[in-house]
Every structure is written in structure tokens, then in C-alpha cells.
Amino acid sequence: PGDMWKTGGAATWLGGTYDPDTDSIFFGTGNPAPWNSHLRPGDNLFSASRLAIDPEDGSIKWHFQTTPNDGWDYDGVNELISFDYEEDGKTVKAAATADRNGFFYVLNREDGKFIRGFPFVDKVTWATGLNDDGSPIFNTENGRPGNPADADGEKGETVVAFPAFLGGKNWQPMAYSQDTGLFYIPSNEWSMDIWNEPVSYKKGAAYLGAGFTIKPANDDFIGVLRAVDPKTGEEVWRYNNPAPLWGGAMATAGNLVFTGTPEGFLKAFDARTGEELYKFNTGTGVVGTPVTWEMDGEQYVSISTGWGGAVPLWGGEVAKVVKDFNQGGTVWTFKLPSDRVASN
């Protein structure tokens, strides 16, 4: 309402990708501001959305909004990965994204139409499911933080929301294997107590209008590396990690999936079964994403390490799990020994 669009947020704070098949640039947008959603009724376009942008003139070809009228800080910036699959004898040009809000979405990347969606985390409370067009079915009982205007005090009603505002998945990129047809999602299981507060815009200051505390959803693990079938929603395998997973994943043609952990390990899993095949202790927490590269006919894997980022800053009770992890800052490179390389 009014001039609130001028301070409405929705920054594109994660890198986009180019899709040559559709000649489109895919970008995601962040949450609207302030967090207090009662101050900004409506869908709040184009916040918490995936956009297909024409690279010639910057116009929006299509958009898909994952969390209309977002009241939980469920940014829509997470990567949109292009992939093709066969269905009824036809090739579907699709794109997939695992959202902060806990849902996995498969879209037609030619027109942005919703194909299917499903939760990829163990518990989602802000919505009870998705409509046929992919829009959320909001939980109207206790899903959205209360309006401070309806309360006697300074705070609106507190709700417990799954996932926490740091997301079922955050910035850390998932990976896709053309061989297995599966996506590999570094995800986290946590909840938050969240409430709304009165707020006024002040240039340069945080524009929240909300308070929150984050809590682990389980006693023995927070992070989960998941292998998910985008055609069925089936979780094919999972690896539970004690601390949150905050680094990206990489899938290789050799049917390996690499990722790092805050405990400092670079790990490799069998892409089909999830069996842990390799681990190396780098000595400092991993937030980076593994990359693979080739030189002089030999293949390497590299990872940058060094713990930090949003989890120790905003993690609430989760911060207790990671408070003693080493920070540091190192680049590690690995090469498969020549006697271990399989012959063609």
C-alpha cells in the first residue's frame, strides 16, 4: 500500500544462471520488507520469486512466486537448475529449485508453469501443501506470526515455524546428476519462534518488524544431505549431519557426490546409494562448494574452507553446536592417484 514498494526489499543477493535453450537469465529474489507481513497485504510481487529475464532488454518473461506475502523471511533467491527429463515419450524442459520455505518446485523453464512440488524437509508448518498452480495453501490456524495491531502489548502472537528463517535450504547450491536423474540437496532441519513487532523505516537500519529464535528440530542432527527424485518427490537416500550443512554439493559423472561439513570434512558419497566413500579432515569448517577441474589429462577436486557466515551470527540455540568450530581459510586440492583411475 502507498509508497511501501519503495522500501519493499526483494534484493537479488545470489548469482543467476543463463539457460541457452530458452535464451533466458534465471534469477531469484529475496524477501519483502519489513518482515511484518501484516503491514503489506497482497502478494508483494516480485519478491520471493524466480524470474526468467530476457537478456536482450531485461524484461521479465515469466515469474514464479514461491512465498506470496512472505512473513517468515523465506527468500526466493535459491538457484534454479535447468534439466530435461522424459515423460510420455516427450522431453520436458524443466527447472528445479529447493526453496527456503521447505518446498521443492519443478517448473517448465520455457514458460514458468508449475509442474509439481513437494516438501523436501521433514516438517513444514507455515503451509499445509501446494495448490495446482504451485501457490501455497497457508496454515491459517497458527502458521503466520500475529499482527501487533491485534495485541495489547508491543508484540504480536508468537508462532513456531518450520523451517527456520535460514531455510530448509539456503544459499548453498544443490547438485543434479544426469546419470541418476536425482538432485542432491544440502538441507537443514530447524525451527524458529517468530513474532511481529511495530516498525518504522529508517534509511540504513535493519527493517525487520520481527523477532526470532532458532532451535534444532532434532537432538542428534541438523544438517541433511538428501537425494531427491524430481519426478516423484521420493527421498532416495539421506545423510544426517550433527551440525548444519552450509556448503554446496557437486555431482560427478563418476557417480560421486561431494560436499563439506562445518566439522571440517570434505566427504564423497555414492550418488545412487548414499554410501559414504571418502572423507578428509581439512581442519576448518567448510562453507564453500566443491569444484572439479582438469589439467594435463588429470582431474582434480578443490574446495575452499573456512567457517563463518549466517549460522554463527543468527543461529540461536544452533550456535551452541558450531561455536567451537575452527574458522581459518584454506584452499585444498585433491587428485585421484594414477593407479586408482579406471581404464576406459
Give catalytic residue positions: 73
Contact in structure between 10 and 74 (CB atoms under 8 Å): no
Cβ(222)–Cβ(229) below 8 Å: no
Q: Which of 182, 336, 342 is nearest to 249 (CA)?
A: 182
Q: CA nearest 165: which of 72, 228, 250, 92?
A: 72
Residue with grid cell 557417480, as numbered in its chain: 255
State in Å, rounded, how far the first CA of the chain is from the last one: 64
Q: CA nearest 137: which of 126, 147, 145, 146?
A: 126
Of the candidates 28, 44, 27, 31, which has an alpha carbon nearest to the alpha carbon of residue 77?
A: 28
Pairing assessment for the beta strands 81-87 and 103-108 based on DSSP bridges: unpaired
Nearest-angstrom CA–CA distance, 282 and 266? 7
Cα–Cα distance for residue pair 312/319, rounded to 1 Å:
5
